[in-house]
Homo-oligomer: A and B are copies of this chain.
Amino acid sequence: MSPRKSAHDELTKEAIISVARDLFVKEGYSAASMRKIADTLQCSHGAIYYHFKNKAQLFYEMVEADFQKLDQVLDSVLEESADTNEQKLFSIFYRYIQFGLTHQKHYELMFLIRDDDVKSYLNEGPNKSYMHFAQAINSLAPRSLSIKDIWSVFLSLHGFVTHYCRSETTFEEVKELASSHAQFLIKAII
């Protein structure tokens, strides 16, 4: 009826993203419909399209900021100066998995989603994160590692996270397995 809301309750990207994040995490990408998001925001679903080109871009903008936390996790491990290099290596592997499984929806979007609409938005993100990871591994390894070995380590961690993302298992449920997987990978590089 009223084609525009009064100033104090106009929509903002932040408000949309905040509601969308809750719904995406609660219901997944496809089940969280634009109409449900709009209902929660008490606006029409058309209004969201004024702020975001489409659903994929809304999802992407939501996740982009959160994903920078992975870099922060890696940095914080490197700064734990009390640990030995092998402890740090273990920590990086372990906490990479922890990150992936406690931010499953984000991880899925960055690394797993096949939706063509969404994929066109994703390119630099994962690559940048990997470079950071590779750098850290290389500086901590006890012997000189080939690029291929580091890549194998990454893919092996990725496989762990991917598998448990698919079945929506929490990190808590598999932390022992995560620990032994990290240990398994250390065996391969020392």
| A160 interface hit (Cβ, 8 Å) | yes
Partner of A184 from the list B111, B112, B152, B180 (CB cut-off 8 Å) is B152
A30 and B118 CA atoms in complex are apart in Å by 14
Give complex CA distance A156, B151 in Å: 11
Q: Is A131 an interface residue (CB 8 A)?
A: no
Category for how many chain A residues contact B: 35 or more
Please report which residues of chain A, range 145-190, place their CB below 8 angstroms from some CB of chain B when the two chains form the complex: 146, 148-149, 151-153, 155-160, 162-163, 166-167, 177, 180-181, 184-185, 187-188
- Oligomeric state, in copies: 2
Task: Decide yes or no: A184 and B149 within 8 Å by CB, A158-B162, A159-B158, A162-B159 being known contacts.
Answer: yes
| Besides the known contacts A111-B163, A148-B181, 11 further A-B residue pairs in the complex with CB atoms under 8 A apart | A29-B114, A146-B180, A149-B180, A151-B181, A152-B160, A152-B185, A155-B181, A158-B163, A159-B159, A159-B162, A185-B188
7 nearest CB pairs, A to B: A159-B159, A156-B156, A188-B188, A152-B184, A155-B159, A158-B159, A148-B180
